[in-house]
Amino acid sequence: MKVYISATLRSFFGRNAELSVAASDIKGILDKITTEYPDSHKIVFDENGELRSFIKIFVAGEDKTDKSNWSEALGENEEVLLLPAIAGGVSRESIIPDERRKAVSFDDAEVERFENHLLLREIGVKGQKRIKAARVLVAGAGALGSPVIQYLAAAGVGTIKVVDFDDVEISNIQNQVIHTSRDVKRPKVASAKDTVRNINRSIVFEAENTKLDAQNILEIIDGYDLVIDCTDNYVARYIISDACVVCGIPLVFGAIYQYEGRVGVFNYNGGPCLRCAFPSPPPAGLVPTCAEGGAISPLPGIIGSIQANEALKLIIGIGEILDGKLLVIDSLNLRSHLVNVHKDANCAVCASNENEIQIEEIDYEEFCGVKETEDEIPIEGFTPEELAKRIDSDDPVTIVDVREPHERAILRFPNVIVIPIGQLARRKNELNPEIDTVFICKEGKRSILAINTLREAGYSGPMYNLKGGTDAMKNIIFSNEGGWL
């Protein structure tokens, strides 16, 4: 049996690139080569005798790292590859064509501005020209978009297009560092444009104050070298990923929640797409967004900086890319994990012929579970004013709060029953079916899930959703309390 040894491991195997081993399965091979080369045992196995996490074993191109595969009989001519899961610093192709790079020039001011890049051997003049020639689209000018946009501008990316439809709110300032207090109530793309102009006025900044949907996505991303996903909802994420597959554009993915963040590169060099990693999103409202669940303010800076770093590596053509990998960072416990994402041969999007995919025909709201179907009973709701009036009038109404404890501590709600969504089905007897029940959460999304959960459990009493959630109640004053809710 022929065993190929990766260059990074050869010093532990007598500097051999290939070994001939008389064994019929993977376990036999590992036993023999580590016995013949004792120094290799501590590299291949940990102190508990388990294969180290950075070692991968392939047979005929198939991943056989899992121990359950080690006793399978191997064919006589099959080659076994012993490879590290993570290899560093390899040269790769830039996503920027040479013709565009050669068409770019620098003036003296730019040479001085980008001196720190020009001094790096891996970047130099050619790499910096690629950066200047690059056209990058950033979807979202919020928490993740803030560091991404600023670092791309500082690096000298020639054209940056930012797509966002929101206005700046005072609560954004905590972790959306591209905006300031003076930008409150302004469109985020306008605020971002001003910040970029203060960093580098020579950059072409394209502000798109619009919401991405299946009808406009292809036109919006067409002609760009790279898309960076800095959005905060599943509908936008799947629209962006699918469109990148159709247009053949690499996607740098980022996500945050409370203290955890994730970064990955999808649709690059034939690699997996977002649907390969997550074929479908969780039910709407089940997993709170970062807007609902919060995020520590430096976390988007950490994750967004890594996204910008991945983007620049793709543009320049250097380093190890998070292609087919997902970097998970736990900022609370200072831990990180690098997991492999395999291309799904049955993926509904990237395994198909991209010419056959019709983005505008996919109902992303239905796919992500945020659209009512015709056979669903419509969910009725109260506006904040209507609910406040009922409370002030002492009308009989049961209010069920499905928020997390830390959310309730920030904004209290009077006279409620606290029931987490996961407990609703078994605690439905605590509700009076003769009285209207109103469900509340932060934004009015999880409360919809709560109503649907009780319907599935057979509860037949009248149920209502607080439209806009407690966020919409912030300016309501109850007469019997004489203060803010």
Query: Over the stretch 333-365, which tens digit does the pLDDT of each residue have?
Result: 888 888 788 888 888 888 866 556 777 666 666
pLDDT of residue 11: 67
User: How many residues belong to the chain?
Assistant: 485
Query: Is the separation of the CB atoms in 432 and 462 below 8 Å?
Result: no
> Which of 36, 21, 54 is closest to 45 using CA atoms?
54
Catalytic residues: 290, 441
Q: What's residue 28's pLDDT? A: 92
Other Cβ atoms closer than 10 A to 67: 12
> What is the C-alpha to C-alpha distance for residues 447 and 462, in angstroms, rounded to an integer?
14
Q: What is the pTM of this model?
A: 0.66
Residue 158, exposed/middle/buried by CB under 10 A (0-12, 13-18, 19+)?
A: buried
Token reading at 330: 């736990």
> How open is the CA angle 244-253-55, to the nearest 5 degrees?
110
Tokens of 423: 């407990």
**One-letter identity of residue 484:** W
> What pLDDT, on a 0 to 100 scale, did the predictor assign at position 470?
84
> For residue 216, what pLDDT is reported?
93
Please name the residue that has the structure tokens 């196995």. Answer: 45
CA-based radius of gyration for the chain: 27
Fill in the amino acid letter for 145: G
3-state DSSP assignment of residue 62: strand
How far apart, in whole angstroms, are the C-alpha atoms of residue 435 and residue 161? 52
Tokens 């015709």: give the residue: 374
Tell me 278's DSSP state: -
Nearest to 207 by CA among 224, 194, 198: 194
What domains, with CATH codes, occur in the chain?
2-84 (3.10.20.30), 98-367 (3.40.50.720), 381-484 (3.40.250.10)
Torsion angle of C-alpha atoms 208, 213, 214, 220, degrees rounded to 10: 10
Residue 214 CA to residue 358 CA, distance in Å, equals 9
Q: Is the sign of the CA dihedral 81, 87, 91, 97 positive or negative?
A: positive
> Residue type for 299, please?
L
Instruction: Give the three-state DSSP class for 218.
Output: helix
- Number of C-beta neighbours around residue 383 at 10 A: 13
Rounded distance between C-alpha atoms, residue 478 and residue 389, angstroms = 8
Could you tell me which of 439, 437, 428 has the C-alpha nearest to residue 403? Answer: 439
The pLDDT of residue 187 is: 96
d(CA 274, CA 279): 7
pLDDT along the chain (485 residues), means of 10: 73 79 90 89 82 77 83 84 47 84 93 94 94 97 96 97 94 92 95 96 96 92 96 89 93 90 92 86 55 78 97 95 90 84 86 67 64 58 87 87 78 81 85 92 83 87 89 64 40
pLDDT for 58 equals: 78
User: At 93, is the secondary structure helix, strand, or coil?
Assistant: coil
- Residue 90 to residue 8: CA distance in whole angstroms: 12
SS3 of residue 78 by DSSP: coil
Coil, strand or helix: which one is 437? strand
Per the listing, tokens 């036993």 go with 31
Looking at the chain, the whole-number percentage of residues with pLDDT higher than 70 is 86
pLDDT per residue over 237-265, tens digit each?
A: 999 999 999 999 999 999 988 888 889 99
pLDDT at 137: 98
